[in-house]
Amino acid sequence: MTRMKKITTIILTLISLTSFAQSIETITEKISDKICECMSNELKEYSEIKPEFNRCYNKEFNFIFNIVDSSEHKILIQKGTLEKVKNGIIPKLNENCKKIRKLIKTDVENSTESTTKNPYPTNFESKDLKKIKKRNGEIVAFNGLVTEVQTSHNDKLYYQVKLQGGKTIWIASLVKSGYEKEGKILRLLGYVSEVGNDEIAKKYNKSDFHILAFCVIEMETKQMTMLPGSELQIKEWMNGKIPKGEK
């Protein structure tokens, strides 16, 4: 009986934590939506985003308690919750605010030919495969020669590339670029990820890891395809810095 009580307590605790996290997510979405609504529809340049965001953030965040319900109000006054909401606002805006996403996307597309000294840097090659487990969850960038293209991976291609140094790795593409053809040289940006229970991956991939690629550059034409919502990460990469992944 005591064991059953412990199990019940654990289950209730997990439910409570999940509910708390979902409430923070809902509050963050509410304030992010208000900030997005506040921002001008006349923004034309990427450089205009920050001052306009600051204006609307100061205006809307000061009245955050006016846009939440009574249960969310109780959550907001708990220690650390406001900070979590603050930290989640910009990612939510990047993901959901069409005004911002449109400007970032246009800026990235217009800047493929970057004037940065070292745009779209790489940090991964054959020798790094030895320690790939330690890099699980990291974002990596590299050049790869497409050597094999296989069955679609959730409607996206699953393909193998040869890295600098001669070794190969499989790519689970999150985008359809049309460049995934044998003999093509691509520059890829993506997350190191465990294959896990992915049946298609396990069918072809003899290792435990592959790359979840969210940006593809065809090296001959310099044409780029990216996953919607990754524009800020691509801009960071374009400006010479490989984005950070969450481990």
Residue 20 has pLDDT above 60, yes or no: no
- Per-residue confidence at 113, pLDDT binned at 50, 70, 90? low
One domain, residues 84 and 159: no
Confirm whether 67 is domain-assigned: yes
pLDDT, tens only, 3-17: 555 544 443 343 343
187-241 pLDDT, tens digit each:
999 999 999 887 888 889 999 999 999 999 999 988 888 887 787 788 889 889 9
Considering the domain architecture, whether residues 76 and 41 belong to the same structural domain is answered as: yes
Q: Are residues 62 and 164 in the same domain?
A: no
Distance CA 201, CA 207 (A): 9
d(CA 16, CA 70): 17
pLDDT at 231: 79
Q: For residue 59, what are the domain limits?
A: 2-110
- Please report, for the domain that includes residue 191, its CATH number: 2.40.50.140
211 located within any domain: yes
Q: Is beta strand 209-218 parallel, antiparallel or unpaired with respect to 168-173?
A: parallel
DSSP β-bridge partners for residue 139: 191
Rounded CA gap, 243 and 120, in Å? Answer: 10
pLDDT of residue 246: 57
Which among 223, 229, 128 has a CA at the least distance from the CA of 185? 223
pTM for this structure? Answer: 0.62
Give the chain's radius of gyration (CA, Å). Answer: 22
